[in-house]
Amino acid sequence: MRTAIEDLRALIRQHEHKYYIENQPEISDAEFDVLMKKLEALEAATDAPIPSDSPTQRVGGGAVLGTRIPHRNPMLSLNNSYNEQELREFDERVRRLLEDIPVEYVTELKIDGLGVSLIYENGVLTRGLTRGDGEYGEDITDNLRTIRSVPLRLVETETPFPTVLEVRGEVFIPKDRLNDINVQREAEGEPPFANPRNAAAGSLRLQNASITASRPLDIFIYTLNHAEGVEFATHTASLELMKRWGLKCNQHTDCHKSIEDVQNYYERWVTERHELRYETDGIVVKVDRFSYQHELGATAKYPRWAIAYKFNAQQATTTIERIDVQVGRTGVLTPVGILEPVTLAGATITNATLHNEQEIQTKDIRIGDRIVLERAGDVIPKIVEVLTADRTGNEIAFVFPDRCPVCDTPVQRTEDEVAVRCVNMACVAQLKRRIAHYASRNALQIEGLGPATIDQLVDKELVRDVADLYALEVEPLSKLDRMGVPSAGNLVYQIEQSKTAPVEKVLFGLGIFHVGETVAELLIEHFLSLDVLSTVTPEEIESIDGIGPQIAESVVNFFSQNQSLLDNLRAAGLHCFKVETASIRPEASAVTASFFSGKTFVVTGSLEGMTRTEASKEIKARGGKVASSVTSKTDYLIAGEGAGSKYAKAVELDIPIIGAADFFEKLQHRDT
């Protein structure tokens, strides 16, 4: 049996290489799955330990992040150049230091992702690190193992691989897959990732490797950092051998004898980069010969033998043809500029968010204005300038509506926020978004209930609130567009399964103003069921550390104003109302002592590569508690970009404030 298992492992590795490295699959996905299941069964039937490089061992039970490991050689940043003159100055410095020896340059695309280091011992992946501060990296081995294009075992060739091999690469998420992720995140009430780099960085920092495995991460290896017992004359030669060992290197690498050829390579990719499936923000230029690299050396920050030649920010000019107003699930009215279609960063852009009424007034944005859009790697284009000098006098100032554009209810403005709201809970636009939120992954996770289906259910008046979902039957559902009996049956089954969802998931799914996942968990930890929560006073809610009067008032008001909805959900058979039937999330398993253990945190602002929800989960996984508002009992405020009133409150109460960079640094440590 042992020989059969080894043969099957080798066969699966071969197919993984063909699919994920060479992009030339030889079998179908279904056939590959059959091989994997066969291997899992064989491994389960033997008492022999399963080696870490077995294809079945990519995803473990959970990543244990946080250990800081010193890099064998520092992962230095590259000095940047932004124009041809700076490129030529780099070439002149290189030639002067090498006393005019003829130099060949290697050019590579600069992938916009997250730099990592992979270490192989005797051909088996043993460790993976982030760049970190350049001197020390975070151990993310478990998460890197989930990336299918990262070989767990190298391919044996006529050139034996070194006993110890360290290579460095860039982990990224393809552009088209990022759009899919963001569509799903928005449907689930999560903010979209701003760009592929943020998505990749956030995915690799997750505590749960199984979640990382669900993200479409990929990698390009760009340099060989250490090869024990093996020497190469040039960077080009090392790339070729790494490819033969099964490592995935970018195909668009060239070698040039002149700086003019380097400039031509750059100009080619200024335009052609839009056709790539991944984001690239420039090219990297390296001296090819290793002996010259060693002679040139490095400064404290940068190698002298390489430079990043960055692309300019991508901009386009277009016209605002009109301004529409969309209504969100909490009634917030968001203005959207409808644009004359323009191509930017390889995509046709037809609209851009204008955020809110205040943003329009501050930038003096008018219908008919010529504007400059920018998309510097971002998925979401933003307006960076209004070309007021181009105005003809025919532009029309936008007047924000006093009534909801969907249901015609008078809108509400409050002094303490910039948002303008529709307060009609029966508003069709709000209803559709409330249903989407209720069915989202972080709430009741009703698969198959997407935006198109929700539109039909509401438009045909089959659903007037979320409780009506539980009365849906297969026959009328099957008559919806693109549904059919099998899909309708599956949707009814998924809705039925949601009746046993954990009570805090239901509470979050109800979409109560100011009640996010963290607040929902805090409330249920104290009150256990919706029936109990519906009877408490604002003062009882405020007694919970991290919950203030605004949240307490919102919760009490919701339960008093939505008794009919709650009665209908109870009648539908949801388990979340009574303590004896409510399913409560399991208590967090014991965690290793860390900086976060036993402390209370509040997270505010935007953290690069991680949503606030994900940040909260990381804190809890390390033994900390997360509150929604700053009080005297708060131990630390985690403040990202755009931190507002919570930051001011923390300063007022003299609460220690941790910035985003320091927060990510703390995540890397388990005991400090």
Q: What is the set of active-site residues?
A: 110
Query: What single letter denotes the amino acid at residue 648?
Result: A
Q: Which residues contact 488 (CB under 8 A, 6 or more apart)?
A: 474, 475, 477, 478, 480
DSSP string, 306-345: EEEEEPPPPEEEEEEEEEEEEE-TT-BEEEEEEEEEEEET
Contact indicator for 662, 595 with CB cutoff of 8 Å: no
Classify residue 637 by burial, with Cβ atoms within 10 Å: 0-12, 13-18, 19+.
Answer: buried
Residue of 400, 407, 466 whose CA lies nearest to 434: 466
Q: Tokens 């000095």 belong to which residue?
A: 79
Gap between the Cα atoms of 419 and 669, Å rounded: 39
Long-range contacts of 158-162 (CB under 8 A, 24+ apart): 159/230, 159/241, 159/244, 161/120, 161/122, 161/123, 161/230, 161/245, 162/227, 162/228, 162/229, 162/230
Q: Which residues contact 113 (CB under 8 A, 6 or more apart)?
A: 170, 171, 172, 173, 196, 197, 200, 278, 279
Greatest Cα pair distance, the chain, in angstroms, is 85
Residue of 35, 51, 57 whose CA lies nearest to 2: 51
DSSP 20: I
Gap between the Cα atoms of 110 and 115, Å rounded: 11
Q: Tokens 């996905």 belong to which residue?
A: 29
Contact indicator for 207, 63 with CB cutoff of 8 Å: yes
Provide φ and ψ at 411, rounded to 5°: -80, 165
- Residues 215-238 as b or e (16 or more Cβ within 10 Å = b): bbbbbbbbbbbbbeeeebebbbeb
Residue of 350, 319, 566 whose CA lies nearest to 466: 566
Count CB atoms within 10 A of the CB of residue 537. 10
DSSP string, 219-242: EEEEEEEEETT---SBHHHHHHHH
Query: What single letter denotes the amino acid at residue 345?
Result: A
User: Could you give the count of Cα atoms lying within 13 Å of 483 in the half-sphere of its Cβ?
Assistant: 23
Gap between the Cα atoms of 653 and 633, Å rounded: 10
Euclidean distance between the first and final Cα of the chain, in Å?
A: 47
Gap between the Cα atoms of 442 and 430, Å rounded: 19
Distances from the Cα of 645 to the Cα of 117, 191, 336, 417, 601, angstroms? 39, 20, 26, 11, 15
Gap between the Cα atoms of 173 and 185, Å rounded: 15
Gap between the Cα atoms of 258 and 489, Å rounded: 65
Q: Which residues contact 317 (CB under 8 A, 6 or more apart)?
A: 342, 370, 371, 372, 373, 387
Classify residue 45 by burial, with Cβ atoms within 10 Å: 0-12, 13-18, 19+.
Answer: exposed
547: its two tokens: 């919950």
Residue of 26, 19, 4, 5 whose CA lies nearest to 246: 19
Query: What single letter denotes the amino acid at residue 223?
Result: T
Provide φ and ψ at 512, rounded to 5°: -65, 135
